[in-house]
Structure 1
Amino acid sequence: MKYLVTGGAGFIGSHITKELVKQGDSVLVIDNLNTGKEDNLEAIRNKIEFVRASILDKELLDKITRDIDGVFHQAALASVQDSFSKPEEYHNVNVNGTENILKLAVKNNFKVVYASSSSVYGDPEKIPIKESDKKNPINPYAETKLKKEELAIKYSKMGVEVIGLRYFNVFGKGQSKEYAGVLKIFLEKVRDELAPKINGDGSQFRDFVYVEDVANANIMSMKSEIKHEFFNVGTNSSITILDLAKTIIKIAGLNVEPTFGPPLKGDVMKTVADISLIKEKIGWEPRVMLTDWIKEIISSKKFNEV
């Protein structure tokens, strides 16, 4: 099978690309490298096709999607904080870019699996969060994710096979500040034997899910018989930011205490995924747990893998 991965040099996209290559599929990557890095694909660079371009280039997208079986749409702007100052840019890339892909799915007949986000729920009324729960985005970034879902529904009614994956806090090698950034920041502080700094009081709950598990959720969704669905991609477990900081400090054996700063604008208080639907429909479940990964990183001093 031949697949296109948009944003394929990015954090999650590069892991999807590597797993597809491992499974023997042909892969074409498109990435403008504004946030993605070609280094993320170095190990497989001679096994894939790479095009440096934007998903806003409609003519190019049309040309490169004429003979593919599916698109993993990961290209997006992903910073909650930046979205407040650049709402139009976020709408253009995240919403219009997604519609470019979906329009071509109608024309060129391919399946789409794309990155949505747990941010569409806002601050949920209860946890764990089910896919059917109320959507209440509280920042411009999350609003673009919900608009993408509305587009997915619209185009599914036109016959497009499209699955949206609502990522919770994705962590792992090559992670960026936009995803599980607090984890990366805390580990870098511990590496330098400094105290982690928490935004807010640390009572925020987060559901951290490993990037390779997320890549597998994408591929299993693509290769499934499911034509249209939204799935939570998390672990159904959570940790507070304060407990995360204390856990990292304890594992590292440091004698420091976390410090505190002002809360971040647009930050949600609790995110925990109910993943029963994705387990039932495609048989996916997480395999790598956060604490085990932290222990491995600290004990082996593999901070370059953060």
Structure 2
Amino acid sequence: MKSIMVTGGCGMIGSNLVKRLVKEGWDVYVADNLWRGKIENLNDENGKPVIDLDTHFFKKDLSIYEEAESVVGITDYVVHLADIVAGIDYVFSNQGELFRVNNLINSNLFAACRKAGKEKIKGLLYVGTVCSFPLTRQNMLNPEPLHEDELFPAMPESAYGWSKLMGQLEIGYLEKETGIPCCTLMFHNVYGTPTDFGERSQVIPALIRKAVNYPKEEFVVWGSGEQGRAFIHVNDIVNALVLALDKGWGHGWIQIGPSYCTSIKEIAYKVAEISGKGIVPRFDTTKPEGDKARCADYTKAKEILGWEPSVSLEEGLRESYHWIEKQIKG
């Protein structure tokens, strides 16, 4: 049985990955500080944890080296999902701290892997972000799909994008120095369940929360709504991660996302329609909206991993709406 450590394993992506790996016969361990993730996200449909929490769950702060070191070397593989990220308001209001902590998390985890060496670590999979692409390729509507070789010269818009890019550089050095097989997947805008839908949440769960709470909470959309993103459902993300654990080693950076943009305005009107409440969105152009638009040329993912997106936006939004509605109404 192959063993694997999933950092950030109690988050949306991590918990879905853990459940998938358990079903496929992996011996799965989880490290998470529970800043956004929740331990109950690891429960199956019967409310029971899919791993032994006493032996396979570690509540750790990976920004502290000793805690990062304590979870490395006990499994064959490591999937490094852990980072500090939230909605646009949080990201742009806490750039210095976010940059500092994410760099600590990444550097500590990589240093621990370097110390363990390839004798103990058979593979290290790091998750990056398309926020690391240059602002100049994300500052217009209806852009050409992004390609991996456009990362440099680097000019991310946010500290989050910079911090994740630093991680991509460092894992590259680690791979060359140690011979540990490495892979980096760069995710576009992931949505799905279980998800944080509170004040730090990202755009889709935030809009769904507002719709569920409407009219007690006003349905306000930040920005013009014209900005576009390549939204990708968490099930498609998990598929990419599982494929990468088999085929992704030694291929550098691989984008995971669709080749088209969906505007925030489209998302807002679709969420309003799903609610059935006759909501008319209000757009607040005094609020930040981030990059104008981005989408993926996922040719590399298709050729190397055999990956393509499969969950429709309509299906994904309805599933997310009903899940959040259930959580709010209890």
TM over 0.5: yes
For 2:3 and 2:323, the matched residues in 1 are separated by: 37
Q: Which residue of the other structure, out of 160, 165, 168, is the alignment partner of 2:185?
A: 165
Which has the higher mean CA deviation after the structures are superposed, 191-200 or 116-125? 191-200
**Kept in 1: contact 2:78–2:125 (CA 8 A):** yes
Partner of 2:169: 150
SS at match of 1:47: coil
User: Structure 1 counterpart of 2:270, which letter?
Assistant: T
Quote the offset at 1:107 in angstroms: 3.0
Aligned residue pair count: 305
Partner of 2:325: 303
- RMSD of aligned C-alpha atoms? 2.5
For 2:114 and 2:60, the matched residues in 1 are separated by: 22
Quote the offset at 1:83 in angstroms: 4.1
User: Structure 1 counterpart of 2:208, which letter?
Assistant: L
Unaligned 5+ segments in structure 1 are none
For 1:20 and 1:12, the matched residues in 2 are separated by: 12
Relative to the length of structure 1, the TM-score reads: 0.89
Aligned counterparts, 1:29-40, within 5 A: 29-40=30-41
Quote the offset at 1:276 in angstroms: 1.1
For 1:174 and 1:268, the matched residues in 2 are separated by: 26
Matched, 1:102 2:110: yes
For 2:183 and 2:40, the matched residues in 1 are separated by: 28
SS at match of 1:129: coil
Which has the higher mean CA deviation after the structures are superposed, 125-134 or 195-204? 125-134
For 2:80 and 2:264, the matched residues in 1 are separated by: 30
**Kept in 2: contact 1:77–1:94 (CA 8 A):** yes
Partner of 2:128: 116
Partner of 1:82: 90
SS at match of 1:5: strand
Partner of 1:191: 212
For 1:101 and 1:219, the matched residues in 2 are separated by: 21
User: Structure 2 counterpart of 1:153, which letter?
Assistant: G
Matched, 1:132 2:149: yes
Quote the offset at 1:82 in angstroms: 3.2
Aligned counterparts, 1:185-264, within 5 A: 185-194=206-215, 196-224=219-247, 226-264=249-287
Quote the offset at 1:188 in angstroms: 2.4
Measured at CA, do residues 179 and 115 of structure 1 come closer, stay the same or move farther in structure 2, by a change above 3 Å?
farther
Seq. identity, %: 26
SS at match of 1:115: strand
For 1:301 and 1:88, the matched residues in 2 are separated by: 34
**Kept in 2: contact 1:129–1:273 (CA 8 A):** yes
| Deviations, residues 263-303 of structure 1 (Å, cap 9, x unaligned) | 544711102111111110011112211112224556x6773
Measured at CA, do residues 284 and 209 of structure 1 come closer, stay the same or move farther in structure 2, by a change above 3 Å?
same
User: Structure 2 counterpart of 1:128, which letter?
Assistant: P
SS at match of 2:253: strand
Unaligned 5+ segments in structure 2 are none
For 2:6 and 2:201, the matched residues in 1 are separated by: 21
Relative to the length of structure 2, the TM-score reads: 0.83
Matched, 1:45 2:49: yes
For 1:286 and 1:22, the matched residues in 2 are separated by: 21
For 1:200 and 1:266, the matched residues in 2 are separated by: 5
For 2:298 and 2:224, the matched residues in 1 are separated by: 28
For 2:210 and 2:288, the matched residues in 1 are separated by: 23
Matched, 1:70 2:77: yes
For 1:42 and 1:31, the matched residues in 2 are separated by: 15
User: Structure 1 counterpart of 2:113, which letter?
Assistant: A
Partner of 2:203: 182
**Kept in 2: contact 1:130–1:273 (CA 8 A):** yes
**Kept in 1: contact 2:192–2:320 (CA 8 A):** no
For 2:262 and 2:173, the matched residues in 1 are separated by: 36
For 1:271 and 1:259, the matched residues in 2 are separated by: 23
For 2:324 and 2:36, the matched residues in 1 are separated by: 23
Partner of 1:17: 18
Quote the offset at 1:238 in angstroms: 2.1
Quote the offset at 1:94 in angstroms: 1.4
SS at match of 2:149: coil
